Structure formats: C-alpha cells, structure tokens
Amino acid sequence: MGSNASMSLPRLNLDRTLAWSIGALIAVFLLFEFTPLDLWVQDHLYDSERRSWWVDGRNEIGRALFYTGPKVLIIAFGVFLVGIACVPSRLRPKLPPWLRSRRRVILTVLPLGLVPAVIGGIKATTNVFCPSEIRRYGGDVPYVRVLETYAAGDKPLRRGRCFPGGHASGGYALFAVAGLALYRRGQLVAIAIGLGVGSLMGGYQMAKGAHYLSHTLITALVAWSISAIFFKLSAFEDEYEESLERLRALNRPAKANAPGGTDTV
C-alpha cells in the first residue's frame, strides 16, 4: 500500500530548479577558483613516492567498467529513445505509459546529446590542463585555473582540454530522463541514476588523474541546468495542452445544445 501511495504522489516541479542550479553553478565555480580545494583532493589520490594515482588508467577491466562500458550503454539508451520517438502514433498506446508521449521522449533525447556537446565546447575554450599533466603530479605544465593566466615565459605550447569533465557529462545527462517519469518516485529514481552514473564516471577520472573534483561538480551542475531548461519546455507544453483541453471541454456543451448537434454559427 505504501508503494502505491508513493507512485501516486504528484510529480516534482523540476522546471522550477533552473535558477538555483545556475546559482549553484556560479557558487561552486568561484569556490574552486579561489581555494586550493582541487589540489587538496587530488593530493589524496596521488602517491608522490610511487608517482602513481589510485587507479591505473591502463587497466583494461577498470577502463571497461568505468569508461568504455558506461559510454556504450548511454549511447545505446539514446539510440533506443530515438527509436521510441519514431514509433507511429497508432502504435504508441501499446508502449509503456512513460514512453507514450513522443514530445516527452524528444525532450529527453535532446539533452542526452546536448549536455556532452556543451561540455565539449567549454573544454575547447577554457585551456585548463588535467592533474596528471601538471608538474605537481609529474607532468610538464604549471597549475593554472580558469581565471588565471600563465606566467611570462611559462606558457605551454599546447592548449589544455580538461575543464569541465567530458566523460562524466554522459552520465549526468541522464538527469533528463526524469522528464519521462509520470510520478515522483520515477523522477527520483531517474535523478539518482544520473547522479550515480555521472559520479561514478567522474570519480574514476579523478582517481586516475584525468580530472579535478571541480570539473566533475561543474559538469553535474551544467547537466542539471540544461535538463532543467528542457523540463521547463515540457512544462510549457503541458500547460498549453491543458489549456486546449479546457477549451474543448467548454465547447462541448455548446455543440450538444445546438440543433442537430452542430454549431449554429
């Protein structure tokens, strides 16, 4: 009985989370820009005596479980949703209830692709290097954050492409699946999956020296902000559909009272 009650709880208004997610994004960015928190975390993941990270990125099993495997599954899930969006209208009633709305499926597929694309675009412009590339951890470039500049005569010949975290973006993009849920429990499950998969992928990258904590957190907040935009679009569509339905309901009595069951106009 408790399970049925949780199923029937109204959906959370996730479309109203956009403002706070952008605020959190700015706050987290500034926190890491003006504190040594990133280095403090990475120091605990790096063995300076052995010059090695917690995780060996060359280990094939770890790479399959935390890098290649999740990427393949997320891409496969996206392709599955594209296929569902293409199901003809006459067959859609046969789909599970949460997949019947073509609009909701499309508004879920779009952020699945858009989140990694946006993160990739940001990475191409920030010129930030990964932990394993800086001198503190055996690399050859100085540690410089997003808002900092390189010292004269110490600017690398290549550009850094590490901020934010691209790998984790695919996992955090799964936040968007909450838009398909019909009940609150489904929304919470989708959010938990996105948070879990994204954090697992991001944590793996941190443990092998490929990203800082800030990279993972910023990616999560960017992913949520993009998902919230699509939640808001979906809410607008819902309001529009409800308005149309109310107009239809008001029009039905007029038709019923008209001679011959037709409009008198």
Q: Domain-by-domain residue ranges, the chain?
A: 14-147+159-260
| pLDDT tens for each residue of 254-265 | 555 555 554 433
| Residue 233 tokens, joined | 């679009």
Q: For the chain, what is the largest distance between any 2 Cα atoms, rounded to a whole number of angstroms?
A: 92
CA distances from 107 to 36, 110, 176, 244 (A): 38, 6, 8, 20
Question: DSSP 3-state assignment of 208?
Answer: coil
- DSSP string over the chain: -HHHHHHHSPPP-GGGGHHHHHHHHHHHHHHHHSSSHHHHHHHTTEETTTTEESS-TT-HHHHIIIIIHHHHHHHHHHHHHHHHHTS-GGGGGGS-GGG--HHHHHHHHHHHHHHHHHHHHHHHHH----GGGBGGGT-SB----TT--PPTT---SS----SS-HHHHHHHGGGGGGGG-SSHHHHHHHHHHHHHHHHHHHHHHHHTTS--HHHHHHHHHHHHHHHHHHHHHHHHHHHHHHHHHHHHHHHHHHHHHSGGGS---
| pLDDT tens for each residue of 211-232 | 999 999 999 999 999 999 999 9
Question: DSSP 3-state assignment of 160?
Answer: coil
Amino acid (1-letter code) at residue 194: G
Question: DSSP 3-state assignment of 134?
Answer: strand
Q: Are 224 and 175 in contact (CB under 8 A)?
A: yes
- pLDDT at site 250: 72
- pLDDT at site 4: 57
- DSSP string over 8-40: HSPPP-GGGGHHHHHHHHHHHHHHHHSSSHHHH
Please state, for a pLDDT cut of 70, what percent of the chain lies above it.
87
| pLDDT tens for each residue of 88-125 | 999 999 999 999 999 999 999 999 999 999 999 999 99
Please state, for a pLDDT cut of 90, what percent of the chain lies above it.
78
Residue 166 and residue 191: Cα distance in Å, rounded?
Answer: 19
Residues contacting 117, CB < 8 A, separation 6+:
none
Question: DSSP 3-state assignment of 188?
Answer: helix
Residue 162 and residue 205: Cα distance in Å, rounded?
Answer: 11
**pLDDT above 90: residue 2:** no
How much is the pTM? 0.87
Round the average pLDDT of the chain to a whole number and report it.
Answer: 89
Mean pLDDT, range 148-152, rounded to an integer: 91
* Cα–Cα nearest to 197, from 225, 176, 211, 181: 176
**pLDDT above 60: residue 43:** yes
